[in-house]
Amino acid sequence: MSVEGVAEVDRFRLDGRVALVTGAASGLGHSIAAGLASYGAIVVGGDINDEGLDVTVKRIRAEGGTAIGVHCDVSDEASIEALFARVDEEFGRVDILVNDAFRPIDRVYPQDHELGPWEEAIQVNLTGYFLCARAAGRRMIARGQGGSIVNISSIAGSSGMGRGNFVYSVTKHGVIGLTRELAIEWARHGIRVNAIQPCQFLTPGLKKWIDAEPDPVALTKNLVRGIPLDRLGDPERDIVGPVVFLVSDAAAMVTGVVLPVDGGNLAFNAGGSKTW
Ligand SMILES: NC(=O)c1ccc[n+]([C@@H]2O[C@H](COP(=O)([O-])OP(=O)(O)OC[C@H]3O[C@@H](n4cnc5c(N)ncnc54)[C@H](O)[C@@H]3O)[C@@H](O)[C@H]2O)c1
């Protein structure tokens, strides 16, 4: 099959495109950065974890790709501007942004939530996404060749979680609102904006949380009970394909979409039962 003489498979390739991935030092961000590079993108990883960034960059280079890592704190507007200034200087363009960086949040019930931790969570997990999108969008608009943004939300972005996951869930709902608004506002500039909703993926972040619980095995079983495909997500195997699809020309008519990558969790829903 071909579209205007281009083999369908080529429409997934990202050769020569500059892709910026926040949170690239660990977990989903690491796998997404390596995955985009394997499809030909030039990758810029931004993160506060310099050691982890180095691992990601070295992996991409060892696999024949091109990547740099830039220290960036997405809760700090100046740090984000410095990241994008570095991208301007090195590559002169940004075609793809993946907003993934996230700050782990203590579980606290709404009635006990202090303003400080609330604001810190919003700053990284929502305002950071907006500021990175704004910096990317401004450049994409000025260049006039469109672009693609993927925001990593969560299954917690369209259903309530309870159990003290209050502010996390609020930020992930916010990411979906941000995605839809940007998709509409920037469609006229050829910038597509989509979101992904992962279920529980076995990343260092999730593993740390599971291991800190009194019975990690029982907790893992309980999480899997809500996933019809009967396993946790694997960052290497399960996230790259959906992200590559959304940022590539294969998804040229796809914008404002919220794509669950959740083994059927949101379709199932009743898996959230309190008692059985
Ligand atoms: N792992 C899951 O089960 C799961 C499920 C649903 C959604 N998600 C979402 O996927 C994304 C990645 O999660 P993960 O499990 O891979 O997390 P992770 O903890 O493994 O990685 C998060 C990365 O973000 C970086 N980071 C933290 N604060 C930052 C800041 N201020 N500026 C820049 N970078 C910062 C960390 O250093 C780390 O490298 C998050 O948005 C998370 O909400 C994860």
DSSP codes of every residue in 181-242: HHHHHHGGGTEEEEEEEE--B--HHHHHHHHTSS-HHHHHHHHHHT-TT-S-B-HHHHSHHH
Q: Count other Cβ atoms within 10 Å, centred on residue 50.
A: 11
Clarify whether 39 is annotated catalytic.
no
Q: Which residues on adjacent β-strands are paired with residue 3?
A: 6
Q: Is the CB of 72 under 6 A from ligand 1?
A: yes
Q: Is the CB of 131 under 6 A from ligand 1?
A: no
Q: Count other Cβ atoms within 10 Å, centred on residue 123.
A: 17
Determine, yes or no, domain membership for 212. no
Determine, yes or no, domain membership for 221. no
Determine, yes or no, domain membership for 147. yes
Neighbour-count burial for 10-20, b at 16+ CB within 10 Å, e otherwise = eebbbeebbbb
Q: Is the CB of 175 under 6 A from ligand 1?
A: no
The token pair that represents 166 in the structure block: 């209050």
Range of the domain at 92: 2-199+233-268
177-224 per-position pLDDT tens digit: 999 999 999 999 999 999 999 999 999 989 998 999 899 999 999 999
43-76 per-position pLDDT tens digit: 999 999 999 999 999 999 999 999 999 999 999 9
pTM (2 decimals)? 0.96
Report the nearest-CA residue for atom 16 of ligand 1. 27
Determine, yes or no, domain membership for 223. no
CATH code for the domain in which residue 58 is found: 3.40.50.720
Report the nearest-CA residue for atom 25 of ligand 1. 23
Mean predicted confidence (pLDDT) in 223-230: 93
| Phi/psi of residue 161, nearest 5 degrees | -100, -35
What total number of domains does the chain contain?
Answer: 1
Determine, yes or no, domain membership for 227. no
Report the nearest-CA residue for atom 17 of ligand 1. 205
